[in-house]
Chain A
Amino acid sequence: MSHRILVPVKRVIDYAVKIRVAGGKIDTNVKHSMNPFDEIAIEEAVRLKEAKKATEVVTVTVGSTKSQETLRTALAMGADRALHVEVPESAEVQPLEVAKILKAIVAKESPSIVLLGKQAIDDDAGQTGQMLAGLLDWPQATFASKVELNDSALTVTREIDGGLETVKTTLPAILTADLRLNQPRYATLPNIMKAKKKTIEKLSPGDLGVDVTPRIKVLEVSEPPKRQAGKTVGSVDELIDKLKNEAGVI
């Protein structure tokens, strides 16, 4: 059974950077890297290929020219080829629009599995995989912490609030990767060098017939309020009074 796995990846502000808001906007002149959950997704896809359960891993990103470095990282980790849906740097592409682009990519590439990170650490939307499943009318197994692929069925352990849930789906299917699915590998130096020779195909949203105009408008971006010093209360009554009248939480 030859399975192609499509792994979308996103270039985001590096998880270790301290986010700053300047003039109502997030300062993006800082270090960027691949979304950590997408690294986990690439790792899982590459492992499936190494276990001979999949035949090809194709990675795709929607982003500016700078997103190319993210594709190179994916290729260095073991993806076979890449697609770059290029948009201007100022463009804001939201989950629904990304899902529409991915739907068009799916029509082009015919993967058996689309394996995404569960959410991007910049918007924390956690929607793209689910929306894509809706648009394609494909089964989805999200927040995967374990994936088993057997011929034409997937058995996936999902992390849910109550614990672990095991689901079985037919193919093709959408998977989203959660933190404990695997520990991504370091790309080896030879693989980084080989990645140079792998192809990156360039496309535009227009080529795919997708309008990426955002439908959700961001009204305000601000830093969380600075942490205030705590106060010691003298009695339970005082505590209740403060919770009710000052903090307004009860």
Chain B
Amino acid sequence: MSSIKSLLRPVAKIRNAALAIALKPRIHSRGMSLATVCEPLDGLGDEEAEIYSMARAFADKEMAPHAQEWDEKEVFPVGVMRQAASLGFGAMYCDPTYGGTGLSRLAASVVFEALSTADPSTAAFISIHNMVAWMISVYGTEEQKTKYLPSLSTMEKFGSYCLTEPNAGSDAASLQTTAKREGNEYYTLNGSKMFISGGGDSDVYLVMCRTGGPGPKGISCVLVEKGTPGLSFGQKERKLGWNSQPTRAIMFDDCRVPVSNLIGTEGQGFNIAMHGLNGGRVNIASCSLGGASAALEQTVDYVKVRKQFSTPIASFQNTQFELAEMAIKVNSSRLMVRTAAKMLDEKHPLAAAWCAQAKVHATDSCYEVCDRALQLHGGYGYIKSTKVQQYLRDLRVHKILEGTNEVMKVIISREILKD
């Protein structure tokens, strides 16, 4: 017995010494503030920095206090979104002639990043609404722009984007909602759309439907207003996250829409939809960025305060390495998202492939950041009184919508393998 004890004594000594070093508080009172290594304002020009600061102030004050309630009670925060619109967030990168703000895609990305620190779900809906307004502002006629853009830019009316169907998700070009032209007056729409953000609450629906033959070239983009006879909505879906936005199926049952509601030309619908999505991908990726950076900020605060073994858990190397990895993920995502945004602004020929890359990287990495943030909060991370779980739930769907990350890889690899 004693021989074993004497064997173990040195081991115990080493172990105690190691523990003493490991557990000694190693946090400088200043520490490496998140601000210096993971700063959203870095690399931004004066104007974009001012825009971020303003959007962040709005998010902190008007959205953050309510985000949890909106999630739990599934509230669609119309009032706050209209307030955001009054500051110019309703049609950010649309022509000012019709009420848009005329911002660059980079500036818009920065806005969505700021708003998502408070509530990625609401920020994402604002981004979808912006995408719809943009499609009308680029492909619409004078009459259409005059008729719809002003009220979209103030968010007096909300816009929804309708591409996905029960049987057409990634294979979007196989969509089956038909629009039969009757003379020169009406299209008659028949079919259904699935998972429509804002469905049932929005007033303006951009519907990708089949006016011609099979495949992408037979698809057109038609604007349908709420209240049109033959337009009905399914039940509001109960979702894991994105609960501040209603999501519904939409049914068209001999729904007659004036031919003057065609956006662009017949057969152009798929192109319009895809162009909308390029920017949409940067926006969704920006929403992931904001959520992840907020989750990281909150985690840094938590680990400095939470003590175990008589010391803040921030002094454990595992915690430190996790934080470093999270910062790297947020920073690399941010760089890719902003690069893609700039490429859209410059109309770079590779912009679409870059938007896809940025979307995959940011949505995947930022989700991981939220997951690690939750883990670092321990049990507290799992309960709803901590916000970290909401970021995780909200960000999860960003890997799926606006083109799954798998489809993004199709787009990217296609570009790589081009001759």
Interaction A to B: yes
**A227 at interface (Cβ–Cβ under 8 A)?**
no
Known A-B contacts: A22-B29, A187-B50, A188-B86. Give 13 more (CB < 8 A): A20-B29, A29-B33, A29-B36, A69-B50, A72-B46, A76-B50, A187-B54, A189-B54, A189-B88, A189-B89, A189-B103, A192-B51, A192-B54
Interface residues on B, range: 20 to 34
B110-141 CB contacts (< 8 Å) to partner A: 111
From A189, A195, A196, residue with most partner B Cβ within 10 Å: A189
Judge if A31 is at the interface, Cβ distance under 8 Å.
yes
B interface SS class: helix
Query: Is B87 interfacial (CB 8 A cutoff)?
Result: yes
**A30 at the A/B interface (Cβ < 8 Å)?**
yes
Residue positions of B touching A, CB distance < 8 A = 29-30, 33, 35-36, 46-47, 49-51, 53-54, 57-58, 86-89, 92, 96, 101-103, 111
Give chain A nearest CB distance to B35 CB in angstroms: 6
Instruction: Evaluate contact between B47 and A196: CB separation under 8 angstroms.
Output: yes
List the B residue with the shortest CB-CB distance to A187. B54
Does chain B have a CB within 8 A of A33?
yes
Can you name 24 A-B residue pairings with CB atoms under 8 Å?
A: A27-B30, A33-B53, A68-B46, A69-B50, A72-B46, A72-B50, A186-B54, A186-B57, A186-B58, A187-B50, A187-B54, A187-B87, A188-B86, A188-B87, A189-B51, A189-B88, A189-B101, A189-B103, A189-B111, A190-B88, A190-B96, A192-B47, A192-B51, A193-B102
Q: Are B54 and A69 in contact (CB under 8 A)?
A: no
* Distance of A37 from chain B, by nearest CB (Å): 16
Bound CA–CA A193/B111 (angstroms): 14
**Are B49 and A69 in touch, CB under 8 angstroms?**
yes
- Which residues 187-208 of A sit at the B interface, judged by CB distance below 8 A? 187-190, 192-193, 195-196
B residues less than 8 Å from A193 (CB atoms) = 47, 101-103
**B36–chain A nearest beta-carbon distance, Å:** 7
Q: Which chain A positions have C-beta within 8 A of B88?
A: 188-190
Nearest first, the 8 closest Cβ-Cβ pairs linking A and B are A189-B88, A189-B101, A188-B87, A188-B88, A192-B50, A187-B54, A20-B30, A186-B87
Q: For residue B92, which residues in chain A have a CB less than 8 angstroms away from its CB? A: 189
Contact at A73–B50, with CB atoms within 8 Å? yes
Q: Which residues of A have CB within 8 Å of B49?
A: 69
Q: How far is the CA of A68 from the CA of B29 in the complex (A)?
A: 31
- Least Cβ–Cβ distance between B298 and chain A, in angstroms: 14
Please measure, in the bound complex, the distance between the C-alpha atom of A68 and the C-alpha atom of B58, giving whole angstroms.
22
In the assembled complex, the Cα of A190 lies from the Cα of B261 at a distance in Å of 30
Interface residues of chain A, those whose CB is within 8 Å of chain B, are 20, 22, 27, 29-31, 33, 68-69, 72-73, 76, 186-190, 192-193, 195-196
With both beta carbons as reference points, the residue of chain B lying nearest to A16 in the complex is identified as B60
Q: Which residues of A contact B51 (CB under 8 A)?
A: 189, 192
B29 touches A190 (CB 8 A): no
Which residue of chain B lies nearest to A184 when distances are taken between CB atoms in the complex? B57
How far does the Cβ of A30 sit from chain B's closest Cβ, in whole Å?
7
Tell me the bound Cα distance from A188 to B103 in angstroms. 12
- Bound together, the chains give a CA A72 to CA B54 distance in angstroms of 12
Which chain A residues border B47 with CB–CB below 8 Å? 192-193, 196
The chain A residue with its CB closest to the CB of B46 is A72
Task: Give the distance to chain B from A141, nearest Cβ to Cβ, in Å.
Answer: 29
Partner of A190, one of B46, B50, B53, B101: B101
Question: Are A30 and B50 interface neighbours, CB within 8 A?
Answer: no
Instruction: Report the nearest A residue to B101, measured CB to CB.
Output: A189
- A196 partner residues in chain B, CB cutoff 8 A: 46-47
Nearest to A75 among chain B residues (CB) is B50
Question: How far is the CB of B111 from the nearest CB of chain A, in Å?
Answer: 8
A150 to B241, CA, bound (A): 54
Q: B397 to nearest A CB, angstroms?
A: 27
Nearest residue, chain A, Cβ from B92:
A189
Q: Which residues of A contact B29 (CB under 8 A)?
A: 20, 22
Provide the residues of chain A in CB contact with B53, threshold 8 Å: 33, 73
Whole-angstrom distance from the CB of A68 to the nearest CB of chain B? 8
Q: Which residues of A contact B103 (CB under 8 A)?
A: 189, 193
Within the complex, what minimum Cβ distance (angstroms) separates B55 from chain A?
Answer: 9
Contact residues in A for B86 (Cβ distance below 8 Å): 188
Contact status A30-B33, CB under 8 Å:
yes
Residues of A within 8 A of B30 (CB): 20, 22, 27
Q: Note all chain B residues with C-beta closer than 8 A to A20.
A: 29-30
How many whole Å from A218's CB to the nearest CB in chain B? 20
Q: How far is the CA of A69 from the CA of B111 in the complex (A)?
A: 18
Query: How far, in whole Å, are A170 and B308 apart by their CA atoms in the complex?
Result: 64
**Whose C-beta in chain A lies nearest to the C-beta of B33?**
A30
Question: In the assembly, what is the distance between CA of A90 and CA of B53, in Å?
Answer: 25
Contact of A69 among B33, B35, B46 (CB under 8 A): B46
Determine if B101 and A31 form an interchain contact, defined as CB atoms under 8 angstroms apart: no
Q: Which chain A residues lie closer than 8 Å to B57 at the CB level? A: 186
A193 nearest in chain B by CB position: B47
How far is it, in angstroms, between the C-alpha of A53 and the C-alpha of B49 when the chains are bound?
32
Q: Separation in Å of the A6 CB from the closest CB of chain B?
A: 22
Contact present for A189 and B87 (CB under 8 Å):
yes
Distance of A94 Cα from B171 Cα, bound (Å): 67
Residues from chain A with Cβ under 8 Å of B96 in the complex = 190
Nearest-Cβ distance from residue A213 to partner chain B, whole angstroms: 31
Q: Which residues of B contact A22 (CB under 8 A)?
A: 29-30
B29, B36, B96, most chain A CB atoms within 10 A:
B29
A186 to B111: give the CA distance in the assembly, Å: 14
Give Cα A29 to B30, complex, Å. 11
In the complex the two chains form, what is the Cα distance from A159 to B53 in whole Å?
31
